[in-house]
Amino acid sequence: MRNLEEVQVVVLMGGLGTRLKEYTKECPKSLVPVNSKPFFDYELELLTQWGFRRFLFLIGYHAEMISDYYGDGSARGISIEYCMDGEKLLGTGGAVRRALPYLDEDFLLIYGDSFMDINYEESVYRYFHGKESGHRALMTVLRNKDLFDKSNVIMQDNEIVLYDKHHTVPEMDYIDYGVCMYERSLFESYEEDVPFDIAEIQTELSKKGQLSAHIVTKRFYEIGSPESLKEFEAYARFRFEEQHPAVFLDRDGVINEIVYNEDTELLDSAANVSQFHMFPYAPSVISQLKQKGYYVFVVTNQPGAAKGKTTPFNLYDINTLLCELTEVDDVFTCMHYPEKLPMSREPYLIRTCDCRKPKPGLLKRAMERYRIDVSRSYMVGDSFTDVLAGKAAGVKTILLGGMRCDVCERLSGNKPDHILKDLSEVIGVIP
Ligand SMILES: [Mg+2]
C-alpha cells in the first residue's frame, strides 16, 4: 500500500455556488465561513491528520481568494499546487482533464464543498488492491436508501455492479459518497476544454466491472444550500468546539467473541466477517452509552494481516460490519506488528508503531480528531494492555473478566478503576 504522504489529493473548488449566493457573492464556496473559520479548513485539517501532504486545488470562481488564503501550504506543513479553470465552465470531468499535466498517475479526488470523514487509509488500500485485478478507479459509497438524495449504486457482495445517476432503479440502495480515486490515464482520451461530467467515467467503469468500492458508514456534510450549511454549522460546533466524554472499547472479547482457531488450537481474533460474532448485548450497550452523551470509539490491535493470518481487506470488512450493526462513532485500528513472521505478506505493516496497545496512540488519534473531555472518559478492555493504554491516555479504566487474576498481577501498580464481568455491566458504572 502506498503511504498517504505520497498520494496526491485533487480538490474540485471551481464551483459557482449558485444556491448559496447570499454567501458566495464575494467569496468562493470553499471559503464560506462556518463558525468563524473557512469551510474547507475543516476538511483540510482532517486530511492532514490522516497524513496527506500533497494537494492540487482546481480553482475558478474567486480563484485568487483561495490561492491567497492557502498559499503554497507550507504554513500547514503541506504543499499546494493550483490549476485554474479557463473562461468556460468545464464540469467536474473537464476540470480534471484540464489539470492533466499536474496529475499523478493515481490520485484521490474530493469536492471542496464537502466534509467527508472516512477512513482514507482504507480508500487508498482498496484502490491499489483493486488495481491488481484490473480496476481503474475507486468510489466510496454509502448505504443510503434515498435518505440524503436519490440512491444511484447497485452493490452485490460488497462490489459495485452499477453506478448510474441518470437512470436510477429500485435495486439501487447505495449512493456515491464523493471521495474517489482514479488512474490519470482515464482522462487522457478526452479532449481539452470540452465539458463533461466525471460520472460518465464512473458509469462506464462500473459496467465493465472496473470500479472498486469502499463502503463508508458515516454521513457526509456539504454546503450546497443554506439549509445544509446550517446543518454542518451545528455539527462542527458539536464536534470541534464543544468537549464531550468518550468511551473507548477494545473489540475482541469485549464487543465480539474470541474465535477458536482449529489449526493452531489457540484463541484468536476473527479473521473475516463470517467469524465475527457480536455479543448479543453489545449494540444496545453502545447505544445506551451514546444516549448518555458519550462518543463511543473502538480501539483495537489487529495484527492478523501483518502476521499473514488474514488480509487488511478482511479486517476492513469486519470494521464496516461493526459500524453498520452498532452506533459506534469511529473505529481506530492498529494493524502493525513489530516482528516479521514467516507468513507475513504485508511488509508495510511490520514496524514498531505508536498505536499498538499498551501504547496510547489509538486513543490519542481519537483525541486529535474529536474534542474529548478526557477526565470524564473511559477505556474498557479485557486485557492488561487495554488498562495500560487507557492509563497512558489519562482516562479511567475498566477491566472486563473479573476472574482473571493473572491479568491483575501483571497490572500490580496500575490497577483498573473497575473490574466487571462483561460489557453489559458497564452501564451500571459509567454515569
Ligand atoms: Mg480484547
CA of 299 to the centre of ligand 1 (A): 10
CA of residue 253 to ligand 1 center, whole Å: 5
User: What is the per-residue pLDDT for 5?
Assistant: 96
Please say if 329 is a catalytic residue: no
C-alpha–C-alpha distance, residues 215 and 134, integer Å: 19
CA 255 / ligand 1 centre spacing (Å): 9
| Ligand 1 centroid to residue 214 C-alpha, Å | 26
Q: Smallest Cα–Cα separation from 317: which of 302, 307, 295, 306?
A: 302
Average pLDDT over residues 250-259: 95
Distance CA 410, CA 386 (A): 12
pLDDT for residue 273 is more than 90:
yes
- Residue range(s) in the chain whose domain bears CATH number 3.90.550.10: 4-236
Distance 252 CA to ligand 1 centre (A): 4
How far are the Cα atoms of 93, 95, 298 from residue 90, in angstroms, in the given order?
7, 5, 43
Q: Considering 85, 250, 330, 382, which one is annotated as catalytic?
A: 250
Give the pLDDT score at 25.
Answer: 74
pTM: 0.93
**CATH 3.10.620.30 applies to domain 243-428:** no
Residue 89: per-residue pLDDT: 80
SS (HEC) of 76-115: HCCEEEEEECCCCCCHHHHHHHHCHHHCCCEEEEEECCEE
- Could you tell me the pLDDT band of residue 264, with boundaries at 50, 70 and 90? confident
Distance 268 CA to ligand 1 centre (A): 10
Residue 36 pLDDT exceeds 90: no
Handedness of CA 255, 261, 267, 271 (dihedral sign): negative
Contact 426, 285 (CB under 8 A): yes
Q: What's the grid cell of residue 16?
A: 459557482
pLDDT in tens, 339-370: 988 888 888 899 999 999 999 999 999 999 99
Told to judge if 252 belongs to the known catalytic residues of this protein, a careful annotator would answer yes
Q: Above 80 in pLDDT, residue 23?
A: no
Give the model confidence (pLDDT) of 174-187 as tens digits: 999 999 999 999 99
Nearest to 298, CA basis, from 283, 310, 280, 277: 283
Please report the DSSP string for 237-293 in residue order. Answer: IIIIIS-B-EEEE--BTTTBPPEEETTTTEEE---SGGG--B-TTHHHHHHHHHHTT
**Grid-cell match 444516549, residue found:** 291
- Complete DSSP assignment for 116-177: --S-HHHHHHHHHHHHTTT--EEEEEEE-TTSSS---EEEETTEEEEE-SSS--TT--EEEE
Q: Which CATH entry fits the domain spanning 4-236: 3.30.300.30, 3.90.550.10, 3.40.50.360, 3.10.20.810?
A: 3.90.550.10
- Say what the pLDDT of residue 186 is: 97
Beta-carbon contacts of 405 under 8 Å, excluding residues fewer than 6 positions away, are: none
The residues, ordered by sequence, that sit 6+ positions from 404 with a Cβ below 8 Å of its Cβ are 382
**26 residue type, one letter:** E
* Maximum CA extent, the chain: 73
- Express each pLDDT in 371-430 by its tens digit: 999 999 999 999 999 999 999 999 999 999 866 566 666 667 778 999 999 999 999 999
Looking at residue 408, its pLDDT comes to 66
Instruction: Name which of 118-127, 257-266, 325-334, 371-380 the model is least confident about.
Output: 257-266
Average pLDDT, the chain: 92
121: confidence class by pLDDT, cuts 50, 70, 90: very high
Q: Which of 106, 252, 329, 386 is catalytic?
A: 252
